[in-house]
Structure 1
Amino acid sequence: MKVPFVQSYWLRRLLASDPGRKRLNQAGKATVSLISSVFTTMMILNLLDQQTLLPSIISGIAGLMGIMIVMDETKEKKQVTTGLLALSAGIGVTLGSLLAWNAFLVSTLMIVIIFSSFYFSRFGSRYFSLGMIGFFTVYFSSFLQLSPAQFPWFYVAIVIGVSYAFLYNFILFKDSVQMLKRSMQSFHRQANLTFQLLIEIIEDPEIKESRKKKLDYNIGKLRKYASNVATELNAQDIRKLWPGLKPNQLRLYVFDAAMFIMTLSDSLQKLKKDDALETVELRTILIEVISTLKNADVLDEAHQEQNLLEAEKVVHSLRQTIDDLFEQSMDQPEGWLYLLRRIEAIATHVTKGAIDVQYYIRDLSAFDTIEEEPAEEEEEEEEEGMKPTTKKAIQSLIAGTIAIIVGYLISPIQPYWVLLTTFIVQLGTETVGRTYLKGLERSIGTVIGAGIGFILAKLVSGHSELEVVLLFTVIFLAFYLLSVSYTLMTMFITMLIAFMYDLILGGISYELLEARVVDTIAGAAIALGVSALIYPTRTMDKVSEVFIDYLVDLDAYVTEYVKSFQKMASVKGLADLAFDMDEKIQTIEDESKPILQGPGGRKYSGLPRLITLFTAINYYAKHLVASSYQKNFQYPDEVGLLFQSMEEKLSHNIQVLKALIETKEISGSFYNLQSEREEIERRAPGHQENQGDLVHHLYYIWKINQALLLIGEELGLDEKNKES
């Protein structure tokens, strides 16, 4: 996991903060595309002795949106959509200008575009992208009231903008390969950062709360980085970087490395509390294990196996040390010895996996015979009732009509800002709660941005060069921080508007920005009101839906794991499924934010505990992956029958819980698996060299079932519904 050495913790923290520099790459491309479009258009129109400012603005919008709004699944589809943006933008400029004399016609056109964007997005994101640029060009051209004689110059401006977007997206920065490489480097930086903290915890005789908080923060970051890398893996990019390596091998390596660090974090803190690390020999060997893996060049194409071979020897020494400790306390082993066993098990698996990865990277002959992994065909389930896109389209139609009316009442001269805000707040907000949260964040960001923008615009007014620099700076910051904070993004966009008003109108007034703030709040309120009254999707319903989806994955996950002990199933898919489950936990957290941060917190006071229990299950489930690769499990036939019983009862428990969440009704009893646990612990052989420890590897199965039982209790399952 070796990366270029950087001494400062905070510098390393900064380098790892943007995995693969995705945000920097996207925001940088968007800003450079906008700048290139604006200045190229200005230069060409200056040479032709034409007006430059307004066409340059449209060109900049085309260049910016050509980077930011194209979201198709494949590169080929993205290229087609990018080309079609020019056509959609050209039609928007034409219709917006021709209908500008009649506010009713312009309003109707805008609402039709919004409705169509949502409705036709069922057929692909392309239609939504085309609708977005069409809406914005209609908005600007109706405001500018262009004459037909100006159309050709605006068409040229649009083509320039879209051409730059195409150039930067698909020719100059066609760097998905490099982005994957940078993502892996960010993951390794974050892993090494956390490794260093773990070494400090072992070396320090005290348990410092500040270091524990820093470690927990870095563990959370590492989990996100692992998920981020896993979603970017594709066979084509991996071949170019590491010939012979398959996506599932690299995905498993990333998962194992992250899980090893998470296991170390949890186990070391418990070992510290139990005074298990008082032994110098144990501390030394644990530090050696961490250090050798920290210095390993796992994805280095060069033949440098020394660190990994050293890691393998150190892990073997750790195994021997643990065996000696078990022999010394054969009658009643200390509980912390099993924590060491878990560290050793996953360290062995990580080291072996890393060695396999290096072998496939170097063995180019394997690349000649490597088979394409079959693409998974997604089965489209026929949705009952109205499609979400249709609901959103109807909501947008009603909200748009109200927004136009309110816009005229507030500001007859510029009535469309309310509609613009309503449209933007409706984007990506499936539930009432998400709409509320996004509207609130947008309103707060607009208020703050209006204040700062007004002051800065006044200070730099008349200094066009400085104002243009600030304008491009806030655009970059807005899109760089888009995925970090919607409030900050809105703040910078509002500052951008302040600078644009000053440039276009030759000055800015407090009343003008105040009107935009009022329009924004009104638009957000309209979007919220319509989402709450017209085909509403309650936030808790959405959260429950994701809970159920998670349980479906969990059922497949634990079933596959338990079957692996009976030699009836492959466990190769566990790591991929674990990433999917990780994403669902993140979705649960995201969808729950409006309830936890909003006025619904008291009504759903049990939700934080439910989320905690599902997160705990996810933590336990991920620990099973290392165990799933253990071999040589030997046990009596009676234990084999217990596995079948466990599998059936676990699946039954999950089904009961799903029904309880979905219908609020108890559909059966809940098994606590206590009898199976006692029988397995009584009959299973003890740990020996080269023989799997059944009790150890089933520990987290019991923990998962206990957490499922606690969720059932939280939802109303009582004692009479429990069986042993």
Structure 2
Amino acid sequence: MRRLKRRLHPTHLWDRFVTSDPDLGRLRMGLRSVLGAGLSALVISQLARLLGEPPTVTMVGTMMGMMGSQIATDPKPRDQRITTLLMVLPATVSVIVGTLASRIPLLGAAAFAVTIFIATFVRRFGPRGLALGMIGFFAFFNALFFHAQLAQVPALVGAIVVALCIAYGVRFVLVRDRADLDLQRFLRSFRKTVALVLWELTDIAERPRLTPSLQRRLRREADRLNDAALAVEDLLARCQPGLRLRIFDLELAATRVISAVRQVVESGALAPDARREIRQALLAAHASVRNGDTAARQLMHEHLEHVRESVPRAADPERGRVDALRFSNSITDLVDAAAQLPDEVPLPAPGQGATPKAVTASPAIPLGNGLHPATRQAIQVTVASVLAMMVGHVVSSERWYWAAITAFVTFTRTRTLGDTLLRGWSRVLGTFLGVIAGLVLAGLVSGHRFVELVILFVCVFFGFYLIRLSYAWMVFWFTTMLSVLYSLLGRFSPELLFLRIEETMIGAGAGVVIATLLFPEKMTVHIHATAKQVLSAVCDYLEEAVVNRSPESDPARLIDAARTLDARLRELRTVARPLTGSFVRLAPRTARTVHSVSELVVFVRHLALGKGVLQVHEEVRELIREAGTKLASNARTLAQTLDQEEKPTLESAAALLEKARRALVGEETVRRGPASPPIFLHWLARVDDTLNVLAKASSPLTRNPLALT
């Protein structure tokens, strides 16, 4: 009950809402879709009425305005503008070919297959190829869906030009991106994210034991924190090293608090009254971080003092003292780091702004057949679509293209068989639930034209607003929209919606079958390739933060190495996402490898930019550097041999680390904070242990081409 009350607290709900869309990017997507569709429908319907054209012209233009305002995803704004303008060409050609070919069913199906192949093949040219291919595909599909006639071709072309001009104005004038303001929003959202993590930890501190469910919650909080920090990094200009360092320090401090709370629950040494004081300290820290409340900061220190006073009553006083000290130091460091983070960043001068950094795509994984990934996928999509057309035509000679479009989108933004399975399942689930919602909603609003129009645009908004959270949500809202649209057009029937479910299942099934049998891309290949990139980034970070660290080192280089490491880990989690759900039991060894690599990154990041290397005497510093060199070499060896038959042999750095620990003298043995030599050596030891665990757990890839992984 207390947990439910906490989750429904207005402050908590507001912070959840703000951090779910920190730069308002999802809101902009929703607004663009509504404005693009709405303005296109308004302008083109008036023109169509003056020219005596049927509603088909308005429908096609509306869809083009909606899609054209969204799908240009080039890294630079200038490239996005060019891509949006270029959409006129493939859209015009596709709608003409689609209208002409649809007069002869067999020719129309063949032309649709060729369009699908080309639309997928051009993805090899990056975001622009993806956008132009998608708009060409949907223009062809709309010509089929709305039953365009030959006499309407000139009007359709005109509608496309008008709609894409409107989409351009919506995207780059009415609802444009503002990277400078996005930075301010991300910064405030990052502070709220740290506060949210503290809020979640208050519920964990008093738990009697560390269950698997609690471990997953702690990992989710650490991932949430890292994602928020990376989002700010993506917008920060390289000329702001001071701010980057503050963000990194705050993120590390929050991560240490998560580890400290985990340790408190895991050891169980502290008494219940001490746990209650820890919870109150977390609540006070939450208020201090979120609101900058100095009184809350003082209250936090009072609760920490009570925690320290309760240590003699602990079940294990010595262990309790260590847990209390670790928590006290970490939460104090976090509040101090949050106080150093500015609420506002001065807007940079033109040309020096915080512009989004281009995301460097990982190199494509070569296949044994030598095909480019886009070519391979184009063949897969075309064959799957043809299969879906054939089976879909048996079910319905008029609506077979629903199966074809499902087969097409099942392969969109996917790389592996696991991705395709999840995409197909999301399509089927969203369609099924959308049909149910559509049946109810269409029955309620049928005959109320104005209400139906409003609901159409509400569905469009939520479809694009939620697409980043889940593809299934987008499909749900668009299926609901389709139900209301049929009601508006006077063509609604439950049988038609049930047919959509059937055709969707046919298309998804065709996609999965072809992805399994034709040029299958096993998920394990991509997971191991991405894990190798993570291990290479670990090697680079160890060399920057430990081996080559000196007072003259550029902090920006160290932060770059850390952020590269974070980005690679995020990519690994994305690639392995199908394994984090119901498929994990089919590849337990690979799942353990992903988990171990993730833990390795967490331990490496706790080295806190190598500060401990600079604050010890020369003998210890040399031992640490020698150990760092050995660990970097081990990481490099693992990266080279992760997917090979023979298990790698690593040279442990444990002896060097133990020798360095014994060599610490005086103040070096008691120093607190991230620069503490004992803590620094502790994390190096954890890195060493995890590398050895990875070496023992690494196994050859599955040879079964039909396997999910």
| TM, length-normalised to structure 1 | 0.81
From 85, 88, 94, give the equivalent of 1:86: 88
Cα–Cα, structure 1 residues 249 and 113, in superposed 2: closer, same or farther, change >3 Å? farther
How far apart are 1:469 and its partner, in Å? 1.7
Equivalent position of 1:678 in the other structure? 658
Q: How does 1:415-430 map to 2 (within 5 A)?
A: 415-430=400-415
Q: Which moved more, 1:652-661 or 1:284-293?
A: 284-293
Q: Is the 8 A contact 2:195 2:286 kept in 1?
A: no
Equivalent position of 1:67 in the other structure? 69
Equivalent position of 1:494 in the other structure? 479
Output the amino acid matched with 2:270. Answer: D
Equivalent position of 1:695 in the other structure? 678
Output the amino acid matched with 1:182. Answer: R
Is 1:713 aligned to residue 706 of structure 2? no
From 464, 477, 482, give the equivalent of 2:449: 464
Tell me the SS of whatever aligns to 1:392.
Answer: helix
Unmatched 5+ stretches in structure 1: 1-5, 236-244, 298-306, 326-331, 718-724
Is 1:180 aligned to residue 183 of structure 2? yes
Q: Is the 8 A contact 1:34 1:64 kept in 2?
A: yes
How far apart are 1:321 and its partner, in Å? 13
Is 1:445 aligned to residue 430 of structure 2? yes
Output the amino acid matched with 1:489. Answer: M
Q: Is the 8 A contact 2:243 2:341 kept in 1?
A: no
Equivalent position of 1:435 in the other structure? 420
Q: Is the 8 A contact 2:624 2:657 kept in 1?
A: no
Cα–Cα, structure 1 residues 415 and 353, in superposed 2: closer, same or farther, change >3 Å? closer
Is 1:643 aligned to residue 624 of structure 2? yes
**CA deviations over 1:586-634 (Å, ceiling 9, x no partner):** 3333333434534x54442234433332222222122112x52457523
How far apart are 1:523 and its partner, in Å? 0.9
Equivalent position of 1:301 in the other structure? none
Cα–Cα, structure 1 residues 336 and 111, in superposed 2: closer, same or farther, change >3 Å? farther
Equivalent position of 1:474 in the other structure? 459
How far apart are 1:293 and its partner, in Å? 4.6
Output the amino acid matched with 2:402. Answer: W
Equivalent position of 1:329 in the other structure? none
Structure-1 separation of matches of 2:509 and 2:685? 48
Equivalent position of 1:303 in the other structure? none
Structure-2 separation of matches of 1:205 and 1:613? 25
Q: Which moved more, 1:482-491 or 1:580-589?
A: 580-589
How far apart are 1:427 and its partner, in Å? 0.5
Structure-1 separation of matches of 2:496 and 2:204? 56
Structure-1 separation of matches of 2:195 and 2:337? 19
Equivalent position of 2:528 in the other structure? 544
Q: Is the 8 A contact 1:322 1:340 kept in 2?
A: no
Q: Is the 8 A contact 2:410 2:511 kept in 1?
A: yes
From 545, 549, 567, give the equivalent of 1:561: 545
Is 1:574 aligned to residue 558 of structure 2? yes
Tell me the SS of whatever aligns to 2:588.
Answer: coil
Q: Is the 8 A contact 2:119 2:137 kept in 1?
A: no
Q: How does 1:169-208 map to 2 (within 5 A)?
A: 169-176=171-178, 177-195=180-198
Cα–Cα, structure 1 residues 478 and 289, in superposed 2: closer, same or farther, change >3 Å? closer
Structure-2 separation of matches of 1:706 and 1:553? 18
Equivalent position of 1:3 in the other structure? none
Equivalent position of 1:663 in the other structure? 644
Structure-2 separation of matches of 1:282 and 1:464? 58
**CA deviations over 1:212-242 (Å, ceiling 9, x no partner):** 99877655433332233333x043xxxxxxx
Q: How many correspondences in the alignment? A: 676
Structure-2 separation of matches of 1:510 and 1:279? 57
**CA deviations over 1:225-265 (Å, ceiling 9, x no partner):** 2233333x043xxxxxxxxx935443333332232222123
Q: Is the 8 A contact 2:245 2:559 kept in 1?
A: yes
How far apart are 1:697 and its partner, in Å? 1.6
Tell me the SS of whatever aligns to 2:415.
Answer: coil
Tell me the SS of whatever aligns to 2:420.
Answer: helix
Output the amino acid matched with 2:224. Answer: K
From 574, 588, 594, give the equivalent of 1:611: 594
Q: Is the 8 A contact 2:75 2:356 kept in 1?
A: no
Q: How does 1:270-281 map to 2 (within 5 A)?
A: 270=263, 273-275=268-270, 278=274
Tell me the SS of whatever aligns to 1:687.
Answer: helix
Q: Is the 8 A contact 1:286 1:318 kept in 2?
A: no
From 236, 252, 277, give the equivalent of 1:259: 252
Structure-2 separation of matches of 1:597 and 1:382? 25
Cα–Cα, structure 1 residues 704 and 318, in superposed 2: closer, same or farther, change >3 Å? farther
How far apart are 1:537 and its partner, in Å? 0.7
**CA deviations over 1:653-682 (Å, ceiling 9, x no partner):** 223323442213224x22232211221011
Equivalent position of 1:586 in the other structure? 570
Equivalent position of 1:404 in the other structure? 389
Tell me the SS of whatever aligns to 2:387.
Answer: helix
Structure-2 separation of matches of 1:56 and 1:141? 12
Equivalent position of 1:240 in the other structure? none
Structure-2 separation of matches of 1:369 and 1:113? 41
From 615, 618, 625, give the equivalent of 1:633: 615
Output the amino acid matched with 2:228. Answer: Y
Equivalent position of 2:705 in the other structure? none
Structure-1 separation of matches of 2:621 and 2:159? 72
Q: Which moved more, 1:266-275 or 1:606-615?
A: 266-275
Structure-1 separation of matches of 2:511 and 2:434? 21
Q: Is the 8 A contact 2:253 2:331 kept in 1?
A: yes
**CA deviations over 1:490-513 (Å, ceiling 9, x no partner):** 222222222222333x13223222
Structure-1 separation of matches of 2:437 and 2:280? 55
Structure-1 separation of matches of 2:554 and 2:300? 26
How far apart are 1:147 and its partner, in Å? 4.1
Q: Is the 8 A contact 1:550 1:584 kept in 2?
A: yes
Q: Is the 8 A contact 2:579 2:587 kept in 1?
A: yes
Q: Which moved more, 1:14-23 or 1:522-531?
A: 14-23
Q: How does 1:497-512 map to 2 (within 5 A)?
A: 497-504=482-489, 506-512=490-496
**CA deviations over 1:471-493 (Å, ceiling 9, x no partner):** 22222222222122222222222
Output the amino acid matched with 2:82. Answer: V
Structure-1 separation of matches of 2:263 and 2:362? 46
Cα–Cα, structure 1 residues 214 and 403, in superposed 2: closer, same or farther, change >3 Å? closer
Tell me the SS of whatever aligns to 2:556.
Answer: coil
**CA deviations over 1:52-105 (Å, ceiling 9, x no partner):** 522221121111111221111211111111112223222222222222212233
